[in-house]
Structure 1
Amino acid sequence: MQEFQNAGLDILAVSETKKKNKGVMELENGHLLIYSGVENNKRAAAGVGCIIHQKLIQSVSKWEAHTERILSVEIKKRDGKQMTVICVYGPDEDEKAEIKDTFWEELTLVTEESKGIVYVLGDFNSRVGKKDGRYNTVIGQYGENK
């Protein structure tokens, strides 16, 4: 939470929360965590969440836990326009193809049904290939140079 505050963030997607079920919890300094995880009868795994700064809590008009890997939060901006933040935790590369395909299909559906400006945040478990200076602001300096 200290980093969240130090960075001056309003919204932060978090992954691998390993929280069960879905819900909302108040965090320190009045910030809010909205989360989606596996069912209570399953072993804790995956999980995704969205931390909302206390100043934006009243602007949250709706949230939905779609799966343990996809969560959407609708926020009404000061100008009255709607925006949707979709927080994701993508499956690992080693996961079965069916699970990866299902994740992308669900994400596509959630994105298409979202209102206003849509932001997709999270951990896609992507692999970074060859370093390429054109994308430094997106992928950073950790390409495998292959």
Structure 2
Amino acid sequence: MEKKRFLDIHIATFNARSLRTPEKLQELELALSDIKWDIIGISEMRRYGEGIEDYGNFILHYKGETPGLYGVGFLVKKGLAEKIGEIKGVSERIAVLNIELPVKNAEKWSIIQAYSPTESNKKDDIRKIEKFYEDLHLTIENSHKNIIVMGDFNGQIGKRNNFGE
């Protein structure tokens, strides 16, 4: 009986602060050359539109609706490209990668990359945050049973409390 070989899959999330230009993408490639990775979810790509680009050893997916701001996407090593069932941007703040990972039982996974709006007390900002979490909830509901939710949730802490001073 032939034994199946399962791979270690390295999945990460990264806030790029911009991958708008080829130079920024080259900087990221250089930074990634010393680490193990197979899939990276990216926040704050700042690329407009939605697309998939082939870069030889990886593919880049991006989704952005506001020129120069926000945006999410994925970098996926080329060896996993044939395992991708779907890769799409739900919004400029949520992207989903449906993929069959080469792990035990080769199950389908949904990897969700999120980039939450920063918390605020302004009514417009509160509506954006509520919409983000509604979209995230729907994305999770429509995903495979195996789910990874990752990203930048823009958590903030309150004012420093100097007890005892």
After TM superposition, the score normalised by the length of structure 1 is 0.79
Letter in 1 for 2:109: M
- CA shift for structure 1 position 77: 2.1
Match of 1:102 in 2: 131
Alignment of 1:50-129 (within 5 A): 50-78=74-102, 79-94=105-120, 96-128=125-157
| Alignment partners' CA distance in 2, 1:93 and 1:18 | 20
Q: Do 2:73 and 2:89's aligned partners in 1 also have CA atoms closer than 8 Å?
A: no
- CA shift for structure 1 position 49: 1.1
Q: 1:145–1:48: structure 2 CA closer, same or farther, 3 Å change rule?
A: farther
Q: 2:58 aligns with which of 31, 53, 64?
A: 31
Consecutive unaligned residues in structure 2, runs of 5 or more: 1-28
| Alignment partners' CA distance in 2, 1:45 and 1:86 | 19
Number of positions where the alignment pairs a residue of Structure 1 with one of Structure 2: 129
Q: 1:5–1:54: structure 2 CA closer, same or farther, 3 Å change rule?
A: farther
Q: 1:128–1:8: structure 2 CA closer, same or farther, 3 Å change rule?
A: farther
String of CA shifts for 1:34-93, please: whole Å, max 9, x gaps. Answer: 11111xxx5321101111112211111111211010000001123331001101111012
Identity %: 26
Q: Do 1:81 and 1:116's aligned partners in 2 also have CA atoms closer than 8 Å?
A: no
Matched, 1:5 2:33: yes
SS in 2 for 1:12: strand
Match of 1:44 in 2: 68
| Alignment partners' CA distance in 2, 1:80 and 1:2 | 31
| Alignment partners' CA distance in 2, 1:7 and 1:145 | 38
| Alignment partners' CA distance in 2, 1:14 and 1:64 | 13
- CA shift for structure 1 position 128: 4.4
SS in 1 for 2:87: strand
Task: Report the more deviating stretch, 7-16 or 99-108.
Answer: 7-16
Letter in 2 for 1:87: Q
Structure 1's consecutive aligned runs of 4 or more residues displaced over 4 angstroms after TM superposition are: none
Q: Do 2:60 and 2:75's aligned partners in 1 also have CA atoms closer than 8 Å?
A: yes
- CA shift for structure 1 position 129: 6.4
Structure label with greater radius of gyration: 2
Letter in 2 for 1:106: D
Matched, 1:15 2:43: yes
